[in-house]
């Protein structure tokens, strides 16, 4: 808008992005209400079903044509999205929200430093590895965390890394909404058998269906809409650094909504992982100095849960 102070617009965008993170993590915390009804697998299935339905109605992806190569990358994109959602919900069922989100951030961190020859990037990897090591029960310090839950969070991070790589290969094949709609549908196809085996007829529970609808709004529609607004005035590097702080927001929402209080050791370990993510983003040679183009189809490392 003419006459708008760029600095004020940037500050407003930071506030909008932080609000998006709180809504997103609030949705993740609220998703735990699904677990007693349908389990993590059933919760994933219902949440993806709503997301797929809404996105397909909005974008009508069946009108788009893809080459064989594009379909291959699209399937990898969707499968990684489905695996990421299944595994992070399994992790949330066993470990605190903030810890799960922090560990999951190792995926984008690995993608960011993969193939790098800079010594500084090895420092970020070492910091993250130290943080993860401190979270495992073998340290015998503080309150131990569930092994399987931590492994699920690491697996979700690996899927997130694949999601970023595959998404960049297919992003320019079609408008971003179409790619996301098809990816969500493929992800649903992966999650559905697990949901049916785990929850069975409970998937038809109206309470669970209603909660899943709310989770889809909180975890997808609202935060991603807010992010589009924020992206218009934020430099790419600033956006990346702020997103690396998402585990802090997750910890706050976990404490407020779920009464998940972290030990000093867990908070310290998370701080190491967050520092690694922030450091990697802040020192990246690829980060552009200008604002991000909100029409760019390339998927940003935003937590898609």
The answer to whether residue 292 sits within a structural domain is no
Instruction: State the 10-residue block means of pLDDT for the chain, 305 residues long.
Output: 62 88 93 96 96 92 93 96 96 95 92 81 91 73 80 96 91 86 95 97 96 92 80 78 90 94 90 92 66 51 52
Let me know if residue 297 belongs to a domain.
Answer: no
- Structural domain range at position 118: 12-282
- 87 in any annotated domain: yes
Distance CA 293, CA 283 (A): 21
**Quick check: 96 and 135 in contact, CB under 8 A?**
no
Max intra-chain CA distance, the chain: 59
Task: Provide the number of structural domains found in the chain.
Answer: 1
Asked whether residue 299 is domain-assigned, the answer is no
295 lies in some domain: no
Instruction: State whether residue 291 is helix, strand or coil.
Output: strand
**DSSP output for 34-88:** GHHHHHHHHHHHHHHHHHHHHHHHHH-GGG----HHHHHHHHHHHHHHHHHHHHH
Residues written for the chain: 305
Domain presence at residue 84: yes
Count the helices and strands in the chain (H runs, E runs).
Answer: 13, 0
- pLDDT of 300: 46
Q: Are 135 and 269 in contact (CB under 8 A)?
A: yes
State the Cα angle at 67 between 64 and 72, rounded to 5°.
105
What is the per-residue pLDDT for 3? 53
Residue 184 located in a structural domain: yes
Separation between Cα atoms, residue 167 and residue 269, nearest integer Å: 30
Task: Tell me the whole-structure pTM to 2 decimals.
Answer: 0.88
Q: What is the pLDDT of residue 229?
A: 78
Per-residue pLDDT, 106: 92
What is the spatial distance between Cα 292 and Cα 13, in angstroms, rounded to a whole number?
A: 12
For position 297, what pLDDT does the model report? 53
Domain membership flag for residue 298: no
């Amino acid at each position: 808008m003419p006459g708008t102070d760029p600095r004020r617009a940037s500050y407003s965008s930071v506030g909008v992005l932080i609000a998006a993170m709180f809504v997103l993590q609030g949705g993740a915390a609220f998703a735990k209400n699904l677990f007693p009804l349908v389990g993590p697998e059933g919760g994933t299935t219902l949440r993806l079903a709503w997301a797929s339905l809404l996105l397909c109605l909005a974008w009508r992806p069946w009108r788009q044509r893809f080459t064989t190569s594009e379909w291959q990358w699209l399937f990898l994109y969707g499968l990684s999205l489905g695996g990421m959602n299944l595994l992070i919900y399994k992790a949330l069922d066993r470990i605190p929200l903030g810890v799960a989100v922090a560990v999951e951030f190792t995926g984008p961190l690995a993608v960011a430093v993969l193939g790098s020859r800079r010594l500084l990037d090895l420092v970020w990897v070492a910091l993250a590895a130290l943080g993860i090591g401190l979270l495992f029960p073998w340290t015998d310090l503080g309150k131990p965390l569930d092994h399987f839950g931590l492994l699920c969070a690491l697996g979700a991070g690996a899927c997130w890394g694949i999601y970023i790589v595959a998404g960049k290969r297919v992003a320019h094949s079609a408008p971003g909404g179409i790619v996301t709609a098809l990816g969500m549908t493929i992800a649903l196809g992966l999650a559905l058998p697990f949901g049916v085996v785990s929850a069975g007829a409970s998937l038809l529970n109206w309470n669970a269906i209603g909660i899943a609808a709310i989770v889809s709004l909180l975890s997808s529609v609202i935060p991603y809409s807010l992010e589009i607004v924020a992206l218009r005035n934020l430099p790419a590097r600033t956006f990346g650094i702020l997103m690396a702080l998402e585990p802090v927001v997750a910890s706050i929402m976990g404490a407020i909504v779920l009464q998940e209080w972290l030990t000093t050791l867990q908070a310290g370990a998370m701080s190491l992982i967050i520092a690694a993510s922030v450091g990697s983003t802040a020192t990246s040679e690829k980060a552009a100095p200008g604002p991000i183009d909100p029409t760019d189809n390339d998927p940003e490392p935003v937590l898609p849960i």
